[in-house]
Amino acid sequence: MTIDSKLSGDSYEPGYETTAKKISQFIITSGLQSGDRLPTELHFAKQLGVSRSTLRESMKILVARGEVHTRRRRGTFVGSGSDDVAHAAIDLSTPVDLENILALFDFRCIQEMATVRMAAEQITPRELHTLKEIVVLNQQSAKTRNLDAFLESDIAFHQQIAEASRNRFLIETVATTFRLQHWIIKIVTGGEPDSLRVSTEQHLAIFLAIQEGLSDNAVAAMKTHIQMVKKVYQNEVRRLLIKHIDKTSYH
């Protein structure tokens, strides 16, 4: 087995990404057209077998892509799929090889520093409440070492901050970057002792800075967080390489 295959492992997909695919498939198989109304949140969540919070996160992604759109107090409707703003986001659809992963971390750092600054300046009370709930879930899953739940809440945390930025380019790019990094994040999660605890503490620091509207502090906290994840990834890769070399030498 090559070191590449060891690193990639089983592919992980957050629940809201899976649900977004189910919704897209539902629209196609149901023959719905642009402008047609989708089921209510409660009914749709039961129909798909997911929580309402997961459904909301999925809808945010689909809205950013132009696949659906919402109308206040009227519901959610099928989009045209040709939203110029949504589709003008940077195309990051190609797989990332090992040589470019560190560059992707650097890109993500720059991108999320900009996103969190905008979020700190214009987040709504409702969005702040949602972000707080995500932080609590993140802390609980870290405490119980429920890695799947931790990963899902981690992604939801960053995506919610992107939503609060009100910038559709950033919303889509953050979602796309996480899709590219999903297997990387999976091997990083719990890769070092105390990494989950440190990550939740950093999430809390980011949240508190946003809550206080301290954009500079939020940017600094986000930079520290992404750089920490990058360092953990580098250490884990180094550990796997040494393990691979030792195993090869032994045989």
Q: 171-208 pLDDT, tens per residue?
A: 888 888 887 776 666 666 655 668 889 999 999 999 99
pLDDT digits (tens, 9 = 90+) for 15-51: 777 898 899 889 988 888 888 999 998 999 999 999 9
Say how many domains are in the chain.
Answer: 2
Q: Is residue 176 part of a domain?
A: yes
CA distance 143 to 151: 13
- The CATH number of the domain where 192 resides is what? 1.20.120.530
pTM of the shown model: 0.63
* Parent domain of 105: 100-250
CA distance 92 to 173: 8
For residue 17, give both structure tokens: 């990404």
Q: Please, which pLDDT band fits residue 148 given cuts at 50, 70 and 90?
A: confident
In angstroms, how far is CA 244 from the centroid of its own chain? 30
Residue 70 and residue 63 in contact, taking contact as beta carbons nearer than 8 Å: yes
End-to-end alpha-carbon separation of the chain, Å? 13
Neighbouring C-beta atoms of residue 33, cutoff 10 Å: 9
- The CATH number of the domain where 27 resides is what? 1.10.10.10
Residue 200 and residue 138 in contact, taking contact as beta carbons nearer than 8 Å: yes
Q: Is residue 204 part of a domain?
A: yes
Share of the chain above pLDDT 70, in %: 76
CA distance 206 to 220: 9
**Averaged pLDDT, 107-127:** 94
Q: Is residue 92 part of a domain?
A: no
Q: Is residue 75 helix, strand or coil?
A: strand
Same-domain status, 23 and 127 = no
Same-domain status, 143 and 233 = yes
Residue 112 and residue 161 in contact, taking contact as beta carbons nearer than 8 Å: yes
Burial of 64: CB neighbours in 10 Å, binned 0-12, 13-18, 19+: buried
CA distance 45 to 70: 16
Same-domain status, 129 and 236 = yes
Q: Is residue 66 part of a domain?
A: yes
How much is the pLDDT for 66? 76
Q: Is residue 94 part of a domain?
A: no
